[in-house]
Structure 1
Amino acid sequence: MNRLDRYILKTAAGAAIVLLLGLTGVIWVTQALREVDLITGKGQTVLIFLTVTLLSLPALVAGIAPVALFMSTLYTLNKLNGDSELIVMNAAGIAPHRVTRPFLVLTVATAVVVAWMTVSVMPASFRMLRDLITLIRADFVTNVVKEGQFVSLDSGVTFHYREKVGDSLVGIFMQDRRDPTQPSIYLAERGRTVEAEGQSFLMLEKGTIQREAKNTNTTSIISFERYALNLSALTGDPTGGAGEGDGDKVVYKPRERSTWELINQNPNEAYYKIQEGRFRAELHNRLSAPLYPFAFMLIAFAAIGEARTTRQGRALAIQAAIMIVGATRIAAYAAWTASVRSPVAAAMLYILPLLAIILAVALIYYGERLRPVLARMTAPLTLPLVNLAARFRRA
């Protein structure tokens, strides 16, 4: 890597880091504010609050890094053109595609970070968050919920106990309406929280469970002497609870499982049979994520990688690149959503970035021949916008 490459790489990398830290910080603060209830309403410490909010950072970094790379590429190329450095490079005989080398180095580094986050760090952070929320729920039930009050623990879950005697709760009532097709009501004379194998359970004694099946209009009542309610059931996932007093382990969602577990998934698992589409969508979303930094960088370079003057519509090229990247990201999200129902849609998670890469590379190498053709094809769409902008300038 020569001095020119190091100069461009230093400029682009600095901009990418600043953008990544700035965007991640802003979004993290907005998400952290939503968790203030951990301190004000659930009696948790500042350390727990910071831990919960920081566990969301890997997902933020993985999503923001390709966008930061795209924006830093636009910034660097625009700066080089504004300082006439691209024009000097062009006059010195440096081909436009030769300038992509430092950007490719930065893109590879970004893709490695994204792959590491999506394949390894994100699943581990989501799993830790799930376990921590379970412990928070257990602490919330025993230490924060006041006797005689009906408190909503989560969407559709209501908890109440009459009084507290020692470490036991007396007169327990819990309504679980998270699954609208099968609401449940738990009644118990007493109960207490226990920990086993690193998980928290609410041990209910001498009570009943009333389940109503809306589809069949039938109601079943189960009496029990002892029943172990896995407190992960209070995290909002109706499939995460324990069975009939058997102390089942937590059923982790697809995003909380390691990539290796998704690849070697047991097809006979009951939860997998219900959520097979989500397992497929999560796996392909992780594996395709490292392709998007390459696509976004090349789109930016194809738009303004050549030396141009302002009169040649450089601003319009930047706007077009932003629209293309936005459309690609939205289409990828739609493909990820559709892949839950259709295996064919999962292929679009790979096709979209690969198609963007191929078209961008073709423009970089054969831009002189392709741009006039694209200009004629997009003229019916861009001409009204150009006329509107001219009217505003005259006004």
Structure 2
Amino acid sequence: MQRLDRYILKMATIAAIVLLIGLTSVIWVTQALREVDLITGKGQTVLIFFTVTLLSLPALIAGIAPVALFMATLYTLNRLNSDSELIVMNAAGVAPQRLTRPFIVLTIATSLLVGWMTLSVMPAGFRMLRDLITLIRADFVANVVKEGQFVALDSGVTFHYRERSGDALVGIFMQDRRDPNQPSIYIAERGRTVEVDGNSFLMLEKGTIQRETKRTDTSSIISFERYALNLSALSGDPTGGAGEGDGDKAIYKPRERTTWQLLNQDPNEPYYKLQAGRFRAELHNRLSAPLYPLAFMLIAFACIGEARTTRQGRAFAIQSAILIVAATRIGAYMAWTASVRSPLAAAMLYILPIGAIALASAVILHGQTVRPLLARATAPLMLPLAGLTARFRRA
């Protein structure tokens, strides 16, 4: 690698790292504040609080890294142009596409980071978070909830017991309204929390389960002598409960499963049959994630990669790059949401970044031919933006 490449790579890398750490820290703090209830309401330690919040970092890094790379590319190119370095390079015969080499090295590193996070670290973190929350809930039920109180365990789940007898809870009442179409009420004389193979259960004794199906306007009452209520089901979908005869293993949501499990999913699994669209959306979202760093970097370079004098304003080009990246990211989110219902929408998760890569590459390599065509095609869309920029300058 030549000295010029090392100089640009160092500048862009420092900017990308600073932006990644800064943006991740800000968003992590805002999410951590939501979990303060672990200490104040659920009686957990500071260590548990930080563990729960840190397990969300892989998802934050995977989402923020492409944006940090894009902003670092804009910053580096704008700084090189402000210091007239791009003009000097252009005068020395350095082609604009030649300057993409250090940015491509940084982009490959970012794509590898995003791929590692989305394909391996992020699902493992979500799975650990699910197991930890299950243990917290079991500890909360057994040790924190006080006699005679009605306490919300989760959104739509209310728990109550009359009194404590040793390690057993007496007079248990639990209402589960997470699924509005099929609310359930559990009533038991007594129960206790136990852990089996890493899963926490509330073992209920001598009680009933009242279920109401609003779609068919029917209800049923099931009596039992012993019933194992899987507490991990209370942190997932309402279809993920497990009792006697339902199996002892927790049912993990698509985002909590490894990529290998998603690729080799058993089509006969009951939960998969109910949520096949979510499995498809999660898999394709993970596989397409490493494409976005390259797309965002090339968009930034295509917009402001060429040298410009002080009379040639770069504000409009930077705004255009931001709008294009925002549109690409929003379009990807919409495609991810739509792919839950439509297999064809999953293809858009790949078409959007690949299309952006192809178009930006064409602008970088054949700018004199492609830019006039794009200018005429996007003129109706860019006129409002140009008006806002002119108004801002006058102000």
Could you state the TM-score of these two structures normalised by the residue count of structure 2? 0.98
SS of the residue aligned with 1:162?
A: strand
SS in 1 for 2:147: coil
**Aligned pairs for 1:1-395 within 5 A:** 1-244=1-244, 247-394=247-394
Amino acid at match of 1:356: A
> Post-superposition shift, 1:215?
1.3
Unaligned 5+ runs, structure 2:
none
Quick check: 5-14 or 308-317, which moved more? 308-317
In the alignment, structure 1 segments of 5+ residues that lack a partner are: none
Cα distance in 1, alignment partners of residues 384 and 30 from structure 2? 38
Deviations 1:146-166 (A, max 9, x none): 100111111111100000010
Structure 1: distance between partners of 2:366 and 2:192: 72
Asked if 1 retains the 8 angstrom alpha-carbon contact of 2:316 and 2:389, the reply is: no
More off after superposition, 311-320 vs 327-336: 311-320
The Cα offsets for residues 135-194 of structure 1, whole Å up to 9 and x where unpaired, read as: 000000011111001111111111000000100000000011111111111111100011
Q: Is the 8 A contact 1:229 1:245 kept in 2?
A: no
CA RMSD of aligned residues (A): 1.2
Question: Partners of 1:29 and 1:324 in 2: how far apart?
Answer: 28
Count of residue pairs the alignment pairs up: 395
Tell me by how many angstroms 1:387 deviates. Answer: 4.0
Do the aligned residues in 1 keep the contact of 2:233 with 2:251 (CA within 8 Å)?
A: no
Structure 1 position 246, deviation (Å): 5.0
Cα distance in structure 1, aligned partners of 2:289 and 2:311: 37
Q: 1:44 to 1:76 in 2, by over 3 A?
A: same
Distance 1:158 1:225 in 2: 22
> Does the 8 Å contact 2:24/2:61 carry over to 1?
yes
Letter of the aligned partner of 2:47 in structure 1?
A: L
* 1:370 CA drift (Å): 1.8
Paired AA for residue 342 in structure 2: S
CA distance in 2, matches of 1:384, 1:31: 36
Is contact 1:226-1:245 (8 Å) kept? no
Query: Which amino acid letter does the alignment assign opposite residue 239 of structure 2?
Result: T
Conserved? CA contact 1:173–1:188, under 8 Å: yes
Work out the CA distance in 2 between the residues paired with 1:332 and 1:385: 23
In the TM superposition, residue 245 of structure 1 has moved relative to its aligned partner by 5.5
Q: By how many angstroms is 1:384 displaced? A: 4.3
Cα deviations by residue, 1:232-269 (Å, 9 ceiling, x for unpaired): 12214212211336552100000000000000000000
SS at match of 2:178: coil
Taking only the aligned residue pairs, the percentage that are identical comes to: 82
- One-letter code aligned to 1:282: E
The answer as to whether partners of 1:164 and 1:170 remain within 8 angstroms in 2 is yes
Q: Which residue identity lines up with residue 19 of structure 1 in the other structure?
A: L
Letter paired with 2:282:
E
Letter in 2 for 1:216: T
Return closer, same or farther for 1:390/1:208 CA change in 2, 3 Å cut-off.
Answer: closer
Cα 1:313/1:380, change in 2 over 3 Å:
farther
Aligned AA (2:115):
A
Distance 1:301 1:255 in 2: 33
Q: Which amino acid counterpart does residue 355 of structure 1 have in structure 2?
A: G
**Gap change, CA 1:361 and 1:52, over 3 Å in 2:** same
Q: Report the residue type matching 2:366 in the other structure.
A: Y
Offset from partner CA, 1:107-161 (integer Å, 9 cap, x none) = 0000000000000000000000000000000000011111001111111111000
Provide the rounded CA distance (Å) in 2 between the counterparts of 1:351 and 1:174: 47
Query: Structure 1's 160 and 375: CA in aligned 2 closer, same or farther, altered over 3 A?
Result: same
Whether the 8 Å CA contact 1:158–1:175 is kept in 2: the answer is yes
SS in 2 for 1:61: helix
Does the Cα contact within 8 Å between 1:230 and 1:247 map onto a contact in 2? Answer: no
Change (3 A) 1:390 1:322: closer
Q: Deviations over 1:86-113 (max 9, x none)?
A: 1111111111000000000000000000
- Provide the rounded CA distance (Å) in 2 between the counterparts of 1:394 and 1:21: 36
Q: Secondary structure at the match of 2:306?
A: coil
Letter in 1 for 2:107: T
Aligned amino acid, residue 59 of structure 1 = A
Q: Distance in 1 between matches of 2:64 and 2:374?
A: 30
**Native 8 Å contact 1:254 1:279 kept in 2:** yes
**What displacement does 1:381 show?**
3.2
Alignment CA distance shift 1:254-1:394 (3 Å): closer
Q: 1:374 to 1:247 in 2, by over 3 A?
A: closer
Letter aligned with residue 215 of structure 1? R
Aligned residues of 1:229 and 1:247 also touching (Cα < 8 A):
no
TM-score (norm 1): 0.98
